[in-house]
Amino acid sequence: MARPDDELPPRNDDPDSRQAQQWHQLAGVGIEFIVAVMLFGAIGWWVDGKLNTRPWLMLVGGLVGFAVGLWLMLRTAFRSFKD
Amino acid sequence: MSGFTEDAGGSGARPAPRAAGWRLATAAASSVLGTAAVLAGLMALVNRPAWWRGLLAAAVVNTLAAAASVPLLAWGLRRGLMTAVAGYFLTAAARIVISIGGGLLAIYGGGYPPLPTLLLIVVFYLVLLAAETTVVARSIWSAAA
């Protein structure tokens, strides 16, 4: 029968894996930001096409996406500073 | 994100070396030039004028974004870990404002084709993000170790 310690996943304390983890966390901020802006902008673009209001709803969508991306970024920033 | 600050102990335990600024500038310039070269190769195969124009607009917009973000990031890296992380978050916002704002200006002000311009801006943006993040993560790691 395995001991409890054997069932835990191995800890990755080596420099390469920690560096990769930091890279992943940092890059995630930028990726979330652009995905939010592009997603909301694309929704606005699509609705613009339906309502024939181009480009105004795309701009509104982009601004909403920017606000969402900013909120996600600030949340990540505050968490990182708290840790 | 505990890995960023656990050894910092304040506004920055040990500043990253000055060379980090040069590494950052080199990485950003290489990413812009490399992406432009690869995309130009693809455009040559596709051979559509609208995509060439989009590539031009995206390259200009991304160069502006890189020019704005590199000095801010380099300044943060020289001042310490906490400032480096804060600078990274600031540049993330600045980069996206310049990329999206510049793209919209090119489309609605300059008459560039919307789809190629925006898609290529996203490609440039992601490559620049990866290049800058690599340098910043390495510098933070080496300063914290």
Domain spans, chain A: 29-83
Look at the alpha carbons of B32, A15, B22, A73 in this order and tell me if their dihedral is positive or negative: positive
CB–CB of B89 and A21 under 8 A? no
Question: What are the pLDDT tens digits along chain B (145 aa)?
Answer: 444 444 444 444 454 556 788 889 999 999 999 999 999 999 999 889 999 999 999 999 999 999 999 998 988 888 877 888 888 888 988 999 999 999 999 999 999 999 999 999 999 999 999 999 988 888 877 766 6
Q: Do A26 and B104 touch (CB under 8 A)?
A: no
Q: Residue A42: its pLDDT value, please?
A: 93
Q: Which chain B residues are within 8 Å of A25, Cβ to Cβ?
A: 1, 3-4
Q: How confident is the model at residue A23 (pLDDT cuts 50, 70, 90)?
A: confident
Whether the predicted pLDDT of A26 surpasses 80: yes
Record the pTM: 0.80
Contact between B3 and A22 under an 8 Å Cβ cutoff? The reply is yes
What's the half-sphere exposure (Cβ side, CA atoms, 13 Å) at B107?
Answer: 21
Report d(CA B87, CA B121) in Å as an integer.
22
Q: Which amino acid is at A51?
A: L
Give the pLDDT confidence score for residue B130 in this predicted structure.
Answer: 93
For residues A7 and A10, give the distance between their C-alpha atoms in angstroms, rounded to a whole number.
Answer: 9
